[in-house]
Amino acid sequence: MTFLADLTIRSSLIVAAGLTAHALLHRRSAALRHFVLAAAVGAAGAATPLNGALPAWNPFPSVARSTSPRSAATHPTDAARSHAARATEIASAEAGQADAKQDSSVDRLLSVIWMVWIAGVLFSAAVLLAGFGRLARIGRRAERVQDGPWVRTTEEIAAAYGLRRRVVVLQTDAPDLLATWGSFRPRVLLPLDAREWRDDRVRVVLWHELAHIRRHDWAVQIAAEALRAICWFNPLIWMACDRLRRDSEQACDDEVLDAGVRPRDYAAHLLDLARICRRPGRAWASATPMARPSTLERRIAVMLNPRVNRQSLSLRAVITTMALLLLITLPAAAFRAGQSVLRPLEGAVYDPSGGVLPGVELKLEDAGQIKWQATSDAAGHFEFPAVQTGHYVLEASLMGFRPLRHELDLRSTRDWDRAITLQVGDLRESISVTTPRSATPPSAVPPGPKPVRVGGNIRVPRKLQDVRPVYPASMRDAGREGVVPLEAVIGRDGTVQSVRVLSANVHPDFATAAVDAVRQWVFSPTLLNGKPVDVVMTVTVAFSLAD
Check residue 54 and give its pLDDT: 63
Round the average pLDDT of the chain to a whole number and report it.
Answer: 79
Torsion of CA 342, 347, 349, 350, to 10 degrees: -150
The β-bridge partners of 537 are: 427, 488
pLDDT at 53 over 90: no
Half-sphere exposure in the Cβ direction for 317 (13 Å, CA): 17
How far is it, in rounded angstroms, from Cα 199 to Cα 58? Answer: 61
CA 237-240-245 angle, to 5 degrees, is 130
Collapsing DSSP to helix, strand or coil, 292 comes out as coil
What are the tens digits of pLDDT across the range 390-402? 889 999 988 878 8
Which whole number is the average pLDDT over 466-471? 90
- Whether the per-residue pLDDT at 330 is higher than 50: the answer is yes
Q: How many CA atoms lie within 13 A of 536 on its CB side?
A: 10
Average pLDDT over residues 381-393: 86
Give per-residue pLDDT as tens, 137-164: 888 888 998 888 999 999 999 999 998 8
pLDDT tens-digit series, residues 110-126: 788 889 999 999 999 99
Spatial separation of the C-alpha atoms in residues 357 and 5, rounded to whole Å: 39
Pairwise pLDDT comparison (513 vs 294), residue with the higher score: 513
Does 382 score more than 90 pLDDT? yes
Rounded to an integer, what distance in angstroms lies between the CA atom of residue 187 and that of residue 165?
A: 10
pTM: 0.57
207/184 Cα distance (integer angstroms): 19
State the average pLDDT over residues 208-227: 92
For the stretch 486-545, pLDDT in tens is 888 888 898 999 998 887 677 878 888 999 999 999 988 888 777 888 888 888 999 888
pLDDT at 203: 92
3-state secondary structure of 466: coil
- The per-residue pLDDT for range 341-375, each reduced to its tens digit, is 578 889 998 887 778 889 999 999 887 677 789 99
CA 6 to chain centre: 13
**What ranges make up the beta strands (E) of 156-311?**
168-171, 179-181, 187-190, 288-289
pLDDT for res 509: 86
User: Cα(188)–Cα(171) distance, rounded to whole angstroms?
Assistant: 9
Q: How confident is the model at residue 104 (pLDDT cuts 50, 70, 90)?
A: low
The arithmetic mean of pLDDT across residues 194-207, rounded, is: 90
Confidence band for 285, pLDDT divided at 50, 70 and 90: low
Question: H or E element: which one contains 517?
Answer: helix 508-519
Neighbours of 205 (CB within 10 A): 22
Instruction: Tell me the pLDDT band of 63, cut-offs 50, 70 and 90.
Output: very low
For residue 448, the tally of other CB atoms under 10 A from its CB is 9
